[in-house]
Structure 1
Amino acid sequence: MSRYKTGHKQPRFRYSVLARCVAWANISVQVLFPLAVTFTPV
């Protein structure tokens, strides 16, 4: 969403950012889901 890099549109950079977001999502799910299950009173 940042516009200061419109001149350099590199698909590789975009893919790396997308892969980083996916990795963060996987890590957050793997970390937060067990925590939520543990701290949720059933």
Structure 2
Amino acid sequence: MTLSNQIAKHFGQELGNVNIQRYNDGNFNLHLKNLLEDPEYL
């Protein structure tokens, strides 16, 4: 399991309804950046 997979799993557990695949498509850093800048991103 890669670090991004672990983080995505954590996000999924924390938010419940997050589509983990969204964080596992090669753009994880971009998603994380968007999430940090805009809490409504999800």
Give the TM-score normalised by structure 2: 0.36
Give the TM-score normalised by structure 1: 0.36
Structure of higher CA gyration radius: 1
